A and B are shown apart, each in its own frame.
Chain A
Amino acid sequence: MSLLRVEDLHVEVDGKPILAGIDLAVDAGEVHAIMGPNGSGKSTLANVLAGRPGYDVIRGSVTVDGEDVGTLSPEERSLRGLFLAFQYPIEIPGVSNMEFLKAAVDAHALARGEEPPSAVDFVKRARVAAMRLQFDPDFLKRGVNDGFSGGEKKRNEILQMLILEPRLAVLDETDSGLDIDALQIVADGINAFRANSNAVVLVTHYQRLLNYVVPDHVHVLAGGRIVHSGDRGLALELEERGYGWLDD
C-alpha cells in the first residue's frame, strides 16, 4: 500500500479548474519531486493535500496509509502524519516559536494517546533541531517567523518538520529565495529527515535543490495534470531544455 495515493484529483478555486485529474502514488522511503512551469497547479496540489480551505475537490481522492483524508480538517491531517512546508510561511507576532512548537507537539502526543513531553524535554529537543538548522539560541523566544528573513522562514519550516516527524512531508517551493548556504542547510535538514518509514514530496521550480536532495521520482505538472514522470535524469533534462519540449 502506498503511503500517499492521489487518484483522479480534480480541484477548482472559485469555480476555476486548477487540477484536472492528478494521479500520484508515493511509497514509504521515497522522495518525489514535482516540477512544472508557473501556474501549472503545483502549489494548489500541495495546499489541497494539507486541507487548506478555499479549494474545492470536484472529483477524485487523496488517501494516506489507505485512509481517505479528503474530508479531514488541516489539523486532523497533520495528526495523521501529513506536513506541509509553506511556500510563504506566516508571521505570527507575539506567539513564540517555543509556544507554537510545544502546542503542536502536545497536540500530536495527545492524538497518539501519549503524555505531552515536559517543558524541559521539549526545550532540549527543540534546541537540537534549532542548532541543526543553524538558528541562534534565542530562536525559541522569537515570535513565529516574526521579522524573519526569507531564508530563516524556510529553515523554520524544515525545523518544524524535524520536530513533528511526519509520515509524509510536502515541501512547497522550500528552495525558492534561498541563497546557496541556506539551500545547503535546508537540504541537510531534509536528508536528515529521510527514512524508510516516511516520504517527501518536493514541489520545486528548479532542479538546484535536487542536487542536494536526490529524488527517486520526478513528475512534471502542466495544465493541472502530470504530463511526464521519470527519474532524476528528467530534472536535469528539464533544466537544460525547459518545459517547452514536453508539449511536443
Chain B
Amino acid sequence: MAGSTTDGTALAEMILAQGHSSYAPWLDRGPHLDLVERRALPEVRAEAWRHTNVARWYQAILEGSEPAREAHRIENPAEVEVVDFADPRAAELQEQRGEETYRLTAQPIAALNALLLGAGIAIRVPAGCAAREPVRIFDLPAAYQRVLVIIEPDARIELIEEPSTYTHRLVEVVVRPGGQLVHRRLQAASSHRECSLLAIRAEARACYELSQLSLGSDLRRNDIIATLAGNAANVSLRGAWRLDESRHLDNQIAVHHQAPGGTSRQTYRGVAAGRSRAVLNGRIEIAPGAQQSDATLNTKNLLASDTAEIYAKPELEIYANDVKCSHGATVGAIDAEAVNYFRTRGIDEHTARALFVRGFLREAIDDPDTAQTLGLIQ
C-alpha cells in the first residue's frame, strides 16, 4: 500500500468488511460501529488533524505490522486488582466507572480502538489504599489496547507506563472523591506510527498528576482529555518532549472544568531538532457554573535547528464569570550565552547543548523522582 493515500472511508469499509474484534465481547461497540458506518472517521483535511497526516496512521492500521505478543507484562502491589478485559469482571468494573463525561463514544479514534481491540486491562485501586509500590505497565499483547484505571475514594497510587509499542492505546482514568493518582509515562523514540488517547475524570477533591516525556516517533499523536467533574478537583499535566531527525509528535490536550473550585495546571516544555515537528494544542474549557476555577497553561519551546517545526497554540473557552485563567506560549532558540558559559568551563558544545536542553525539559518535569523515572537525570 506504500505511496497510496488512505482515507477514512477506505478504512471504515475495511473494518466493516472484516468485522470488529471479538475480544471483550461485553464492550458496547454499538456507538463506535455506528460512527464507522456513517464513515465519520477523520479525513486528511480534518481540523483536528491539521498537523498530522491521519492517512499515514490509517496506513499503519491497514498494514497491521504489529508483531503478536504473548501476554500482559504488568507489575502491581497485591492490594490492587488487575483484570484482563477477557474476564467478565472487567465488564463489572467498566460498568462501575460510571458516567462517561469525556464522551469517548464520540471520538472517532476511540471507535477504531474499540472495534479493533485486542488487549485490555482494568486496574482498580480499593478505597483508602496507600500502596507504596507503583503499578507498572510494560506491555499489552496487541496493537489496539485499553487500560481502565479506577482509583476508589481516598486511595493513592502511582502508575507508570513504560515505553511500549502499539498502534493505539486508550487509557481511561477515573479518580473518585479524595483519590490521588500520580501518573508517569515515558514514550521512547521509535519508528512506529502510534496514537494514544488518555481520558481522565477527576471527581470531588480528587487529584490527578501526569508527567510525560515523549521522544517522538515516525508519527505519534497524544490526545489527552481531562475533566474536573467534581468540586475542588485538582489536575496537573506536565509534559516534556525532545524530538530529532524527522520525528513527529502531535499533542492535542483539553482540560474541562465542569464543577466549581477546580484547579488545573498545565506545564509543557518542548525541544525540536533536525527536521522534526512538534505540535501542542492546549485547550482550557470552563463550563457555566464552574465558578472559582483556577486554570493555567504554560508552554515554552526551543527550536534546535533551522528545519524543525513547532506549533504551539493555547485556547481558552470560558463560560463562567468568577474564574482565574491564564496561558502563555513561547518559541525560541537555545540560549547561545548559556552554551558559551558551559564552554568556558571546558564543556564541549554538544554536551553543553544537551545539558541545557535537559535542564529546560526539567522545568516541566521538576520533581526529582519523576525526572529520574523518566531518565532526565544522569
- A interface residues, Cβ below 8 angstroms from B: 50-53, 73-75, 77-79, 83-84, 86, 89-90, 92-95, 99-100, 103-104, 107-108, 111, 143, 160, 164
Contact = CB atoms under 8 A, between A and B. Distances in A.
A83 B360 CA distance: 26
A94 B345 contact: no
A103 B359 contact: no
B345 A78 contact: yes
Contacts of A100: 342, 345, 355
Contact of B359 (A52, A75, A79, A143): A143
Contact of A95 (B337, B343, B355, B366): B355
Interface of B: 335-338, 340-349, 351, 355-356, 358-363, 366, 378
A78 B355 CA distance: 18
B340 A53 contact: yes
A6 B179 CA distance: 68
A53 B340 CA distance: 8
Contacts of B359: 92-95, 143
B349 A75 contact: yes
Contacts of A53: 336, 340
Most buried by B among A79, A92, A111, A160: A92
Nearest to B355: A95
Contacts of A84: 344
A94 B342 contact: no
Contacts of A99: 355, 378
A104 B356 contact: no
B335 to A, nearest CB: 8
4 cross-chain pairs, A with B, having the tightest CB-CB distances, nearest first: A94-B359, A95-B359, A78-B346, A94-B362
Given A75-B346, A99-B378, A52 B363 contact: no
A74 B343 contact: yes
A104 B340 CA distance: 13
A52 B346 contact: no
14 contacts: A50-B344, A51-B344, A52-B340, A73-B343, A79-B346, A86-B344, A95-B355, A99-B355, A100-B345, A103-B345, A103-B355, A107-B345, A107-B347, A107-B348
B341 A89 contact: yes
Nearest to A104: B345
Contacts of A94: 358-363, 366
A78 B344 contact: yes
A78 B337 contact: no
A74 B340 contact: yes
Contacts of A92: 338, 341, 356, 359
Contacts of B363: 93-94
